Structure 1
Amino acid sequence: MAKKILITGITGQVGSQLADYVLQHTDFDVVGMMRWQEPMDNLYHLTSRINRKDRISLYYADLNDGAALSRMLRDLRPDYISHLAAQSYPKTSFNIPIETLQTNIIGTASLLEAIRQMREVDGYNPVVHVCSSSEVYGKAKPGVPLSEETAFHGASPYSISKIGTDYLGRFYGEAYGIRTFVTRMGTHSGPRRSDVFFESTVAKQIALIEAGLQDPVIKVGNLSSTRTFQDARDAVRAYFLLLEASEKGNIPCGECFNIAGEEVFKLPEVIDLLLSLSTRDDIKVATDEDRLRPIDADYQMFDNTKIRAAIDWKPEISARQMFTDLLNHWRDEIGKGKIPLNR
């Protein structure tokens, strides 16, 4: 019987790309947890397989419904769980802090507690990937690469919620022996990246300008940040390799890992690169006050030593290719008549 992986948050960029990776590189069955009203845009290329139940299916549940999570685990009993579902937008979290904390902290606790209770009853013991975020480091000290031992400094309700998520993943591994591990992914992008994130909104605006749907001015927020970038398709490969290593017992319960790109950009350099890929040469850049956060995580440089010692992994997709694919993604979406909000 094929092994089964449950991906919470499968409709997101990373969840959908993890599903793609598993379907392409393994014989595992994939089950994606989603809320019934979520958009399916990132899964349309898989709907024929989903309809045929060809190694992939969907399960409707919500992190804020503990009973639904328990029922899902009893029904599915997955061998692996990659917990990616979250309220994942830092800027939005300033407007909905309570929902962000409820979904990301209490929702994660509900999932892990349901696993713990099943383990006590019948020994159920899946490998559980808990997705934290590099945002846990928040207002980090410039000039010092961030390692797994760097102190946390929440810079948004989102980052504070992910600090809670991070601690929960480690606690349930260390206290109860659940085979958890925690990942803190640095800035990641590529096709399907939501337009609420910096480089994606820039690419989206360039595509809108090229299509004659926006004046030739890109609106941006704070550009003082320096960070590494990586393609999410590289990151999901790391996720899967960590799942395999944990199953083999090569990773202690509750271990945490940074996963980050190794190409460094100041945000104006990202704009310049994307503009160099445009068919237009008259595009200007302007600051939009509505895009500024009350506080920013403006230094995101990482030390990948720990993860590269644990698994045979390194980023393979260049940043230029990632940004090219991102811009082409928005050109394709707009070319299909899907006109996105200017946000």
Structure 2
Amino acid sequence: MTKKILITGITGQVGSQLADYILENTPYDVIGLMRWQEPMDNLYHLTDRINRKDRISLFYADLNDYSAIARMIREIQPEYISHLAAQSYPKTSFNIPIETLQTNIIGTANLLENIRQLKEVDGYDPVVHICSSSEVYGRAKPGIALSEETQFHGASPYSISKIGTDYLGQFYGEAYRIRTFVTRMGTHSGPRRSDVFFESTVAKQIALIEAEYQEPVIHVGNLSSTRTFQDARDAVRAYFLLLEASEQGKIPCGEYFNIAGEEAFKLPEVIEILLGMSTRRDIRVITDQERFRPIDADYQMFDNTKIRSTINWKPEIPARQMFADLLNHWREEISKGKIPLNR
């Protein structure tokens, strides 16, 4: 029987690209968890296959609905689970802190608790990937590479929610021997990146300006941050290799890994790169106080030693190619008449 992988948050950038990777590189079937009202933009290229149930299908449920998650786990019983669903926007989390904490912490607990109970009843024993975030490290000291043992520092409700998610993944692995592992992905981008994130909103605004939907002015927030960038398509490859390694018993239950790019940029450098790819030469950049967070994770440099010693992986897509692909993504979307909000 063909093995199944459940991807929660399949409509997001990373979830949809993980689905693409699984369908292109493995024989496994994909089941995507989504709420019925979520936008399908990142899955339109797969809707024909979804309609035909050609190795990919959808399950409608909400992480906060315990009984719906219970029904999903009982019915599907996937061999692999990649738990990516979350309220994933740090700045937005300052406005909706309770929803962020509820979805990311309690939603993750709902998933893991249902797996635990089914394991006790009939021995169900999947490999479970819990997606945390590099935001758990918060405001780090400049000049220090973040390793997996760096102290957590909650710098937003989102960051705090991911600290809870991270600890839940570790706890259920250590306490109940569920084959969990936790990933803390650094800044990642490329096609399908949501426009609420820095480099994507810059690329989107450039594309809007080129199409004459916006005056030649880009609005940005805090530019003092320095961080590594990686393409999300590299990250999902790491996710899958870790799933395989865990199934093979090469990863202890509850283990945790940084996954980050190895090219670092100050945010003004990212703007310069994207502007250099534009067809316009008259674009100005303006700092907008409304785009600032109360606290920012303004230094994120990572140590990838642990993951590179566990699986045969390293980032392969150059950052400049990632930025070009991101800009072209927005150009293509806008050319189709999909005019995004200016945010």
Match of 2:321 in 1: 321
Equivalence for 1:92: 92
Between the aligned partners of 1:109 and 1:177, the Cα distance in structure 2 is 15
Alignment deviations for residues 163-182 of structure 1 (CA, whole Å, 9 cap, x no partner): 00000000000000000000
Secondary structure of the structure 2 residue equivalent to 1:5: strand
* In 2: Cα distance, 1:23 partner to 1:324 partner: 25
2:289 matched to which residue of 1? 289
1:119 equivalent to 2:119? Answer: yes
Letter in 1 for 2:311: I
Aligned to 2:142: 142
RMSD of aligned Cα (Å):
0.3
Question: Residues of 1 paired with 2:334 and 2:290: CA distance?
Answer: 24
Deviation at 1:289, TM superposition (A): 1.2
Letter in 1 for 2:309: A
* Counterpart in the other structure of 1:20: 20
Measured against aligned partners, the alpha-carbon deviations of 1:207-262 in whole angstroms (never above 9, x if no partner) come to 00000010000000000000000000000000000000000000000000000000
Distance 2:61 2:82 in 1: 15
1:278 corresponds in structure 2 to: 278
Q: Secondary structure at the match of 2:227?
A: strand
Is 1:247 aligned to residue 251 of structure 2? no
**Could you tell me which residue of structure 1 aligns to residue 45 of structure 2?**
45
What is the Cα deviation at residue 33 of structure 1? 0.2
Structure-2 separation of matches of 1:284 and 1:40: 33
- How does the TM-score come out when normalised to structure 1? 1.00
Partner of 1:158: 158
User: Cα offset for 1:119?
Assistant: 0.3
Counterparts of 1:338 and 1:291 in 2: how far apart (Å)? 23
Deviation at 1:195, TM superposition (A): 0.1
What amino acid maps onto 1:103 in structure 2?
A: T
1:338 paired residue number? 338
With normalisation by structure 2, the TM-score equals 1.00
* Equivalences for residues 182-261 of structure 1 within 5 A: 182-261=182-261
> Deviations for 1:55-76, whole angstroms, at most 9, x for unmatched residues?
0000001011011001000010
| Aligned-partner Cα distance in 1 for 2:294–2:146 | 23
Question: Please, which runs of 5 or more residues in structure 1 have no aligned partner?
Answer: none
Aligned letter for 2:238? A
Query: What SS does structure 2 have at the residue aligned with 1:181?
Result: strand
Query: Equivalences for 1:31-110 in 2 at 5 Å?
Result: 31-110=31-110
State how far apart, in whole Å, the 2-side matches of 1:166 and 1:66 are: 20
Kindly state the Cα deviation for residue 104 of structure 1 after the two structures are TM-superposed.
Answer: 0.2
Q: For 2:144, what is the secondary structure of its paired residue? A: coil
Identical counterparts, % of pairs: 84
* SS of corresponding position for 2:136: helix
Q: 2: CA distance between counterparts of 1:102 and 1:228? A: 29
Which ranges of structure 2 fall in alignment gaps of 5 or more residues? Answer: none
Amino acid aligned to 2:337:
G
Name the counterpart of 1:302: 302
Q: How does 1:161-180 map to 2 (within 5 A)?
A: 161-180=161-180
CA distance in 2, matches of 1:164, 1:207: 37
Q: Which amino acid aligns with 1:109?
A: A
CA distance in 2, matches of 1:140, 1:244: 32
Query: Hey, what's the Cα distance between the residues in 1 that align with 2:204 and 2:175?
Result: 45
Does the residue aligned with 1:241 lie in a helix, a strand or coil? helix
Secondary structure of the 1:153 match is coil
